[in-house]
Amino acid sequence: MAAAYEIILKEGAEHLTMRRLAAALDSTAMAVYYHVRDKDELLALVLEHVARNLPRPPLPDDPRERLVVVCGLMHQAFADHPWVVPIVARGELVGMSAVWMTEEILGALTAYGLGREEAFWAHQTLWYYTAGHALSTPPRSLPEPGGGTGRHYPETAASRESAAAYPHVTSYAEDSRDLEARYGYELGIRHILDGVLRD
């Protein structure tokens, strides 16, 4: 499992095969199959290894704030382990030690008064937003192209003759970078909850 985890970290989950793992262990693929049934069982073991090491701090009593905190923890887990997202998104493999997050989210949505189907769908919305945000945010270790100092797209739109066609976009030419910098995951989650937890 440790060797499989290292392969995933260095080469990506798509490069984890029984043959590749056997080579890393200086063994044979048949010997690996003696310990695990197939690649899915191996991935499930690695997912559980990751899930077991995720933080589980005390949570707020208020259902809405509990949702914000748990979703934040899920976001951090995805940001730290982005390779997990496409695997878990299949809905077949999961690290059971992380299922408490789903339980807390569904429980908080139910406590807020959502029905069974509404709570399930709201959880799906929160999950996909969280996963998408984590995958689309570049790691802090990677510099932005141009260092984030180049012309932002509203500025580019405003500088062209066709700017009149995009009045709303070009109205942000002066401060779009600042507004973008002030936007964060939690703000997005709170926007979603404003709609989901409507009175």
Q: What is the 3-state secondary structure (H, E, C) of the chain?
A: CHHHHHHHHHHCHHHCCHHHHHHHCCCCHHHHHCCCCCHHHHHHHHHHHHHHCCCCCCCCCCHHHHHHHHHHHHHHHHHHCCCHHHHHCCCCCCCHHHHHHHHHHHHHHHHCCCCHHHHHHHHHHHHHHHHHHHHHCCCCCCCCHHHHCCCCHHHHHHCCHHHHHCHHHHCCCCCHHHHHHHCCHHHHHHHHHHHHCCC
pLDDT at position 79 is: 93
pLDDT at position 156 is: 81
- List, in order, residues 6 or more apart from 105 with CB less than 8 Å away: 67, 70, 71, 123, 126
pLDDT at position 199 is: 61
Q: CB 1: neighbour CB atoms within 10 A? A: 15
Longest dimension (CA), the chain: 67
pLDDT at position 147 is: 52
pLDDT at position 112 is: 92
pLDDT at position 162 is: 67
pLDDT at position 191 is: 94
Average pLDDT for consecutive 10-residue bins of the chain (199 residues)?
A: 89 88 89 86 90 95 96 95 91 90 96 95 96 81 54 79 80 88 92 88
pLDDT at position 187 is: 94
Any idea what the Cα angle at residue 61 is, between residues 57 and 67, rounded to 5°? 70
pLDDT at position 144 is: 53
pLDDT at position 153 is: 80
Alpha-carbon distance of 135 to 128, in angstroms, equals 10
Asked if 50 contacts 99 with a C-beta cutoff of 8 angstroms, the reply is no
